[in-house]
């Protein structure tokens, strides 16, 4: 309001000043005289001012006419003129409009329309770094990968679009499944922009797929230094990569480098089971049993695993069952309430023929968490304690359909793998395997990672062919007690003196009195059966008929259990 009032007052002041000035000039008696060539012109002050304004306007018109003449001459000479600039601005307006419509078409997934708009924008705009990019994206949207690759190659010629071209070609190679060329392109893109998060992740993924563990560790270190990865996650992934690098180096025969890498990985991530096992075996190879025990005990306190127990047994491979039980007490004490500790203790007591102690160590696991391994141990306990064959067969029947227990399961796609690997075979996820029990749908279709299929403590490791596999359809016949054995003790009750966590062979199962007697011998010894097991026929004049073997229900090995499955005790790997 006040500003408007000021503007009005200023306007009237200017008008008043002009009016007063004109009145003053009109009252002035002085005249403006102009003499030229004998001609004299006398002008009043007002006329003089008007004549000056007219002259200024005429001068402006003359300059404009001269400029028009010059522009026409330049136009005839072929030089750029205002006419060309006018038409150029019109073309730019049409080109940018087509470019904007093409970007919207790409965003909405209309590939054909996007290609048409990109071509129109390319005709009107003289900016190939923009129109080529739109054309490449439009070709990708339309599914024309050949045209997209050709345009991305053109983008490589311009410094402003070289990174975009490399990245586009990398994505095309990934879509085609050519990971080797995609890795080379990712390395070039990473060299241009080392802080680009997507390029870093793609390069790291491709390096792990191609088993370039050294390059992957370098990329991971860069991500950590740039603050794009938490410290704990970076240490864990670096430990995984160091473990695989150590495995490859060990395969090449460079044991010293492998030992250092494995020890470094185990220290960085104590719950990385394969690293601890590899490091412990490296120490064992150097006769450093103290450090081997220390690293395995530390891992057991964090995450007990059968492979850790197997490596712990390799420290003293020839010890007797009683001595092994005493030595393993230190390992079990690191995590005594864990299920794996209870199973390990039960197996050790079985090897020492302490069947009541094995039953106490197992506890109620056979009821609360029935797995193939727990039920197999329970069957071994019952056999060793002298239970009837029906009781043993009952536990075996339950084991046929029981869960296989913890296995290496991918947290991303739930794929089950027999051995640990840093990369999932199914989805390609990095460091996604966890030692846990898979869902019921995948139990039957996957072999157990530990190899503890049917009754590992009784029938030994699985056969390599179907002909050598033990026939589970025949009932297990117990041997009668020997003359030097107490009543109720069976010859098969003895368990082999093997490392805990290692599946014994068939010939390892021998009794304490007769080393030649094996558990899997289908034919009983020609010794008289114990009196409680003989059914006396009723007295009659006719001769007693020969006893007819009672038909037993056949227990057929499930198809999901391959005969040549890997041994459960072989070293697995995981976090």
Burial class (CB in 10 A: 0-12, 13-18, 19+), 378: buried
Q: Is residue 56 part of a domain?
A: yes
Q: How many CB atoms lie within 10 A of CB 317?
A: 11
Q: Are residues 16 and 66 in the same domain?
A: yes
Query: Which pLDDT belongs to residue 394?
Result: 92
- DSSP letter at 294 equals H
- Quickly tell me which residue has 């750029």 as its tokens: 80
Strand order in the sheet with 433-436: 416-417, 407-410, 433-436
Q: Are residues 65 and 30 in the same domain?
A: yes
3-state secondary structure of 69: helix
Cα separation, 459 vs 520, in Å, equals 6
Query: Which pLDDT belongs to residue 257?
Result: 64
Q: Is residue 51 part of a domain?
A: yes
Query: Which pLDDT belongs to residue 331?
Result: 93
Q: Are residues 66 and 111 in the same domain?
A: no
Q: Is residue 63 part of a domain?
A: yes
- Reported residue count of the chain is 575
Instruction: Provide CB contacts within 8 A for 480, sequence distance 6+.
Output: 491, 524, 525, 527, 528, 529, 530
What is the token pair recorded at 119? 């071509």
Cα separation, 85 vs 226, in Å, equals 48
| Residue 300 contacts residue 334 (beta carbons within 8 Å) | yes
* Backbone phi and psi for residue 408, each to the nearest 5 degrees, phi listed first: -80, 110
CA angle (546 as vertex; 544, 552 as ends), nearest 5: 130
> Which residues constitute the domain of residue 60?
10-74
What is the token pair recorded at 491? 């010859």
CA 98: distance to chain centroid? 42
| Residue 137 contacts residue 167 (beta carbons within 8 Å) | no
Q: Is residue 109 part of a domain?
A: yes
Instruction: Provide CB contacts within 8 A for 538, sequence distance 6+.
Output: none
Given 144, 165, 189, the domain boundary residue is 144
Cα separation, 373 vs 404, in Å, equals 7
Q: Are residues 70 and 28 in the same domain?
A: yes
Q: Is residue 441 part of a domain?
A: no
Q: Is residue 452 part of a domain?
A: no
What is the tally of structural domains in the chain? 2
CA 365: distance to chain centroid? 33
Query: Which of left, alpha, beta for 46 (phi over 0: left; psi -120 to 50: alpha)?
Result: alpha
Q: Is residue 227 part of a domain?
A: no
Q: Is residue 32 part of a domain?
A: yes
Rg, Å, the chain Cα set: 46
Q: Are residues 100 and 126 in the same domain?
A: yes
Would you report the helix, strand and coil content of the chain in percent, each value rounded to 5? 55, 5, 40
Q: Which residues pair with 371 in a beta bridge?
A: 403
Instruction: Provide CB contacts within 8 A for 186, sequence distance 6+.
Output: 170, 199, 202, 203, 206
Query: What confidence tens digit (pLDDT) does each residue in 327-337 have?
Result: 999 999 999 99
Cα separation, 494 vs 412, in Å, equals 44
Given 74, 101, 130, the domain boundary residue is 74
Query: Which pLDDT belongs to residue 488?
Result: 38
Q: Which residues pair with 36 in a beta bridge?
A: 39
Query: Which pLDDT belongs to residue 216?
Result: 87
Taking the chain (575 residues) in runs of 10, the rounded mean pLDDT of each run is: 86 86 72 75 77 90 89 71 71 90 92 91 87 90 90 89 92 89 92 90 87 85 84 82 76 64 76 86 87 91 92 91 92 92 93 92 90 92 90 90 90 88 83 84 50 36 37 38 36 40 40 35 42 39 41 38 37 39
Max CA separation in the chain (angstroms): 182
Given 144, 167, 183, the domain boundary residue is 144
Cα separation, 356 vs 495, in Å, equals 14
Q: Are residues 70 and 95 in the same domain?
A: no
Instruction: Of 184, 98, 105, give the one whose Cα is nearest residue 139.
Output: 105
Q: Are residues 104 and 138 in the same domain?
A: yes
Cα separation, 454 vs 472, in Å, equals 10
Query: Which pLDDT belongs to residue 314?
Result: 92
| Residue 245 contacts residue 391 (beta carbons within 8 Å) | no
Q: Are residues 18 and 61 in the same domain?
A: yes
Query: Which pLDDT belongs to residue 170?
Result: 93
* Backbone phi and psi for residue 371, each to the nearest 5 degrees, phi listed first: -125, 175
What is the token pair recorded at 232? 């704990």
| Residue 49 contacts residue 56 (beta carbons within 8 Å) | no
- DSSP letter at 474 equals S
């Amino acid at each position: 309001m006040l500003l408007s009032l000021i503007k009005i007052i200023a306007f009237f002041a200017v008008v008043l000043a002009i009016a007063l000035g004109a009145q003053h000039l009109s009252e002035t008696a002085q005249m403006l005289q102009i003499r030229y060539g004998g001609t004299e012109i006398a002008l009043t002050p007002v006329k003089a001012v008007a004549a000056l304004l007219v002259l200024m306007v005429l001068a402006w018109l003359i300059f404009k006419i001269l400029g028009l003449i010059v522009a026409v001459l330049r136009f005839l000479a072929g030089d750029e003129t205002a006419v060309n600039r006018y038409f150029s601005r019109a073309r730019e307006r049409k080109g940018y409009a087509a470019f904007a419509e093409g970007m919207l078409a790409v965003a909405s997934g209309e590939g054909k329309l996007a290609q048409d708009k990109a071509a129109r924008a390319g005709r009107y705009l003289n900016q190939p770094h923009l129109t080529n990019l739109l054309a490449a994206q439009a070709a990708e949207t339309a599914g024309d990968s050949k045209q997209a690759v050709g345009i991305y190659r053109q983008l490589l010629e311009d410094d402003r679009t070289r990174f975009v071209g490399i990245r586009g070609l990398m994505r095309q190679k990934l879509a085609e499944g050519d990971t080797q060329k995609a890795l080379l392109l990712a390395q070039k893109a990473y060299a241009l922009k080392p802080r680009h998060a997507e390029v870093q992740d793609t390069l790291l993924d491709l390096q792990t797929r191609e088993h370039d563990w050294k390059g992957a560790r370098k990329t991971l270190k860069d991500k950590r230094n740039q603050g794009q990865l938490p410290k704990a996650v970076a240490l864990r992934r670096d430990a995984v990569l160091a473990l695989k690098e150590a495995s490859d180096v060990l395969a090449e025969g460079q044991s010293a480098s492998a030992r250092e890498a494995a020890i470094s990985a185990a220290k960085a991530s104590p719950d990385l089971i394969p690293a601890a096992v590899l490091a412990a075996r490296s120490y064992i190879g150097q006769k450093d049993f103290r450090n081997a025990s220390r690293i395995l005990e530390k891992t057991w306190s964090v995450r007990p695993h059968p492979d850790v127990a197997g490596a712990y047994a390799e420290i003293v491979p020839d010890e007797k069952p009683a001595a092994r039980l005493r030595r393993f007490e230190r390992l079990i004490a690191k995590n005594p309430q864990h299920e794996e500790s209870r199973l390990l203790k039960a197996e050790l007591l079985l090897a020492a023929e302490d069947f009541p102690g094995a039953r106490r160590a197992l506890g109620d696991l056979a009821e609360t968490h029935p797995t193939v391994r727990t039920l197999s141990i329970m069957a071994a306990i019952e056999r060793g304690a002298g239970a009837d064959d029906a009781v043993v067969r009952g536990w075996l029947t339950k084991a046929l359909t029981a869960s296989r227990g913890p296995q290496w399961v991918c947290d991303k796609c739930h794929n089950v793998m027999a051995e640990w690997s840093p990369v999932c075979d199914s989805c390609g996820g990095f460091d996604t395997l966890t030692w846990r029990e898979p869902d019921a749908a995948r139990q039957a279709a996957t072999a157990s990672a530990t190899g503890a299929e049917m009754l590992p403590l009784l029938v030994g490791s699985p056969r390599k062919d179907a002909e050598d596999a033990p026939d589970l359809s025949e009932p297990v016949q117990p041997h009668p007690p020997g003359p030097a054995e107490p009543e109720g003790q069976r010859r098969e009750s003895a368990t082999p003196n093997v490392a805990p966590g290692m599946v014994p062979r068939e010939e390892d199962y021998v009794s304490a009195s007769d080393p030649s007697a094996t558990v899997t011998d289908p034919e009983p010894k020609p010794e008289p059966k114990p009196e409680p097991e003989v059914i006396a026929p009723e007295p009659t004049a006719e001769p007693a008929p020969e006893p007819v073997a009672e038909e037993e229900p056949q227990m057929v090995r499930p198809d999901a259990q391959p005969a040549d499955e890997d041994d459960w005790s072989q070293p697995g790997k995981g976090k």
